[in-house]
Amino acid sequence: MIESVVIITDQSPMGKNSALEAIRIGSGFVALGEYVNCQIVFTGDAVYLLNKNAKPEAIGMDSLDEVMEIADLSDLELYVVDKALQDAGMSTDDLVEYENLKIVTIDEVVELIENADTCFRF
């Protein structure tokens, strides 16, 4: 039985809902009757989704507010790769406020993956 999942999302949130759907799927895993530990890792262009100044609804995309509320209700763990944040020209001050949002190194991501029962890219 799967007890832990790591979802890696690296695609731009503009024009597609992949990163938002990763959060929805992760919340679904956590909400299952049997607890499934799920962590979502944002790297590459996916970090732009977590920019507190982004307004995806301005281009017809789903609002981040509802999805973050779902994540919060399920205590979903979100991770942002520090190098991806730096490459995007962003800092922690640019990120949405979320209690379970952590900045990690790529080595820490490797450790998350090694300790998970399964991992997939979304």
Per-residue pLDDT tens over the stretch 80-99 = 999 999 999 999 999 999 99
pLDDT band, very low/low/confident/very high, at 34 (cuts 50, 70, 90): low
Quick count: other Cβ atoms within 10 Å of Cβ 85? Answer: 20
Torsion angle (degrees, nearest 10) of CA 25, 27, 33, 34 = 90
Question: Model pTM?
Answer: 0.92
Per-residue pLDDT tens over the stretch 43-55 = 999 999 999 988 7
Torsion angle (degrees, nearest 10) of CA 87, 105, 12, 70 = -140
Options 3.40.1260.10, 3.10.129.10, 3.40.50.40, 3.40.50.150; CATH of 4-121: 3.40.1260.10
